[in-house]
Structure 1
Amino acid sequence: MARSFSRRWPERPFSLITTTSHHVYAPALPSNHHAVRVARLMALTHNTIFRAFNAIYAQAGVVDPSKTKDVADFMTFATFAIAFLDNHHQCEENIFFPMLEAQSGTPGLMTHNVEQHRAFDVPLHALRRYVDEVKSGAARLDAAALRARIQDLAVPLEQHLHDEIPSLLELSGKLSEEAINTCYKALHDEAEGTTDPFRIGPLVLGCQDSTHLMDGEMIQFPELPFRLVPYLVDHIVSRRYAGAWRFCPGTFHGQPRETAFFEFGKSEASTRRKSSTSRDEILMQAALDSGITRAKRRFLVDRLATPVFVLMLLFSLYLAVAQYAANLHLPTRGKARAWVNPKLL
């Protein structure tokens, strides 16, 4: 049976964050205050998580359980999404929250956030276990079962990820801008240092919407050192787990991905039935366009292989110099970990 193609963002069951509401929770703060910046970046990180899980939810009913490759790639994508969520909260609990409490001199300042983490431990574990069972072949992919586990997770997780934003804005009354920025940088460095870029890089870029507004503004996220990064991810980094990225809701450039795995709603299906263009013609044109695009990409990759390799070397050098420069002024990730909890070393 022919599949339909969709170019819309999946919107259930998680609702995206569109504002930090800093005019409500911290009306005295200017938009360029570090507390506002950190709150916005955190909100965009949370939206990345929402889009990933919404994509899993939306595609669960379309992936054919009998197609081993599709199921394996789908579960790989789900595994990476869960790992990203796990790592995010582990970095918060091990580095970010303790540093905020230490800098503010207020023990227990972030206790409520940690308690909210514990509120979704059980449903997250149930989802992780089900995905592992499907990957191992111990269970057959069942859309209803997968979606039920995501729905169980959705309520406490969405509540926490929305609630955390105003709690970060409130830090402006307890910490200096420099301290807030230092703590967030330590969180960012810890996250980068404890994740696989071949897994998390494509996942994060593939779950961005370049048109999304935060507080009515376009905020660059993730913060990239230069504009070629999405192209490097698209043509090089993503190849290791290429099959999994078919299930990303977006391209690596922030546009909604054209995918055969998203289900249409009734209104969309009705509109398509009324179209004068047949489904076969649409699919044939899509296949033709896809083939042309792949051919162009192969040509570009062949032509740009050497300069891209040089750029990667320069990028590696840039990262090394940047890390060295950062170490002159800020604690390294290892020092930050030792400061918070020496047992983590």
Structure 2
Amino acid sequence: MSSSDVENPYPLISLPTVPYLAFVNEDLAAYTSCEMALIHNVFIRSMNSIWRNAPLVKPEDEIAFAGYSLCCLTLIHDHHHGEETILFPFFETKLDMSHNVEQHESFHAGMDAFEQYMNQVFNKKDKYDGEKTRALLKAFADPLVQHLHEEIPTISEERLKLLDQEGLQKVSDEFEEHIKNLPGKLTVFPFVMTHHNFEEAPNWPGIPAPIKWFARNIAPFRHYSYWKFSPYTRAGVPQKYSP
């Protein structure tokens, strides 16, 4: 195993070769599948970042790291809730999504344990321990990352084309509204922006320009200390936490 593998134990999902957003209005099935791969990579990068940084966190950065980790969990919870309540019920008119839901359940207990510990650290009720953090992370990240990879073929462009396309457009719009209306815009927005490789998909996320500007130039400053742990700066430049 190379040093980079040790630092980043979880592999990213391979993206489609067609540039993202090139087919937005022409092929909703392709757009939706690509969208899911991109947000899943955001989650995987966050798992890698928590793993890589956990033993390096300086005492003065422990609360910020706990806040950063809690942002990650919030985003994953919100994403899965949207899938289970908006997307999957429609997908199941033609596709079997039961395994996806079962996989969601398989790592919830581990996520809850990690979340409880990070909340204790954040509220200064427990001492931060880098090795404990890694152990709690691995307990749920191993099955979570496996799920993130395995879900993509179940929502591939080919499978989504089996669905009623007007219905797909409707639930896609509902899911987009769900995302826009999520609380925590001063955490969720900068989290996504600092865990995305803009060289791979420069036009993602597909949100209006003013919102994207807010996410990059205003939102990060409310919890500025969190984003030093992200793999990219708010401008999209690769970075590493320096202990």
Q: Same fold (TM over 0.5)?
A: yes
CA distance in 2 between counterparts of 1:234 and 1:184 reads 24
CA contact (8 A) 2:100 2:147 kept: yes
Pairing 1:94–2:85 present: yes
User: What letter matches 1:77 in structure 2?
Assistant: Y
Moved more, 186-195 or 166-175: 166-175
How far does residue 113 in structure 1 lie from its aligned partner after superposition? 0.8
Q: Deviations over 1:182-236 (max 9, x none)?
A: 2222112112212321110111101111223xxxxx463211322x655533442
CA distance in 2 between counterparts of 1:220 and 1:178 reads 24
Q: Map of 1:179-218 to 2, 5 A cutoff?
A: 179-212=167-200, 218=201
Pairing 1:53–2:47 present: yes
How far does residue 251 in structure 1 lie from its aligned partner after superposition? 1.3
Q: Deviations over 1:266-296 (max 9, x none)?
A: xxxxxxxxxxxxxxxxxxxxxxxxxxxxxxx
Q: Between Structure 1 and Structure 2, whose CA radius of gyration is higher?
A: 1
Q: Deviations over 1:216-271 (max 9, x none)?
A: xx463211322x6555334422221111122221012322125314xxxxxxxxxx
Q: Provide the secondary structure at the position in 2 that maps to 1:119.
A: helix
CA contact (8 A) 1:76 1:244 kept: yes
Q: Which residue of 1 aligns with 2:22?
A: none
Q: Map of 1:268-279 to 2, 5 A cutoff?
A: none
- TM-score under structure 1 normalisation? 0.62
Choose from 206, 220, 228 the match for 1:223: 206
- How many pairs were matched up? 232
Q: Map of 1:303-342 to 2, 5 A cutoff?
A: none
CA distance in 1 between counterparts of 2:222 and 2:6 reads 25
Q: Provide the secondary structure at the position in 2 that maps to 1:260.
A: coil
Q: Map of 1:232-311 to 2, 5 A cutoff?
A: 232-261=214-243
Per the alignment, do residues 34 and 231 of structure 1 end up closer, same or farther by CA in structure 2, a change over 3 Å counting? closer
CA distance in 2 between counterparts of 1:257 and 1:163 reads 29
CA contact (8 A) 2:220 2:234 kept: no
User: What letter matches 2:36 in structure 1?
Assistant: M
Supply the RMSD in Å over aligned alpha carbons.
2.5
Pairing 1:175–2:171 present: no
Per the alignment, do residues 231 and 186 of structure 1 end up closer, same or farther by CA in structure 2, a change over 3 Å counting? closer
CA contact (8 A) 2:53 2:241 kept: no
Pairing 1:158–2:152 present: no
User: What letter matches 1:254 in structure 2?
Assistant: G
CA contact (8 A) 1:20 1:166 kept: no
Q: Which residue of 2 aligns with 1:18?
A: 14
Q: Provide the secondary structure at the position in 1 that maps to 2:232.
A: coil
- TM-score under structure 2 normalisation? 0.85
CA contact (8 A) 1:100 1:183 kept: no
CA contact (8 A) 2:29 2:161 kept: no
Q: Which residue of 1 aligns with 2:125?
A: 138
Task: Give ranges in structure 2 of 5+ residues lacking alignment.
Answer: 19-25
Per the alignment, do residues 173 and 208 of structure 1 end up closer, same or farther by CA in structure 2, a change over 3 Å counting? closer
Task: Give ranges in structure 1 of 5+ residues lacking alignment.
Answer: 1-7, 23-31, 213-217, 262-345
CA contact (8 A) 1:60 1:147 kept: yes
Q: Which residue of 2 aligns with 1:334?
A: none
Q: Which residue of 2 aligns with 1:127?
A: 114
CA distance in 1 between counterparts of 2:112 and 2:213 reads 35
Instruction: Give the percent of matched residue pairs that are identical in Structure 1 and Structure 2.
Output: 28
User: What letter matches 1:175 in structure 2?
Assistant: L
Q: Deviations over 1:154-201 (max 9, x none)?
A: 221111111111111253353133332322221121122123211101
User: Which 4+ runs in 1 deviate beyond 4 A?
Assistant: 8-11, 228-231
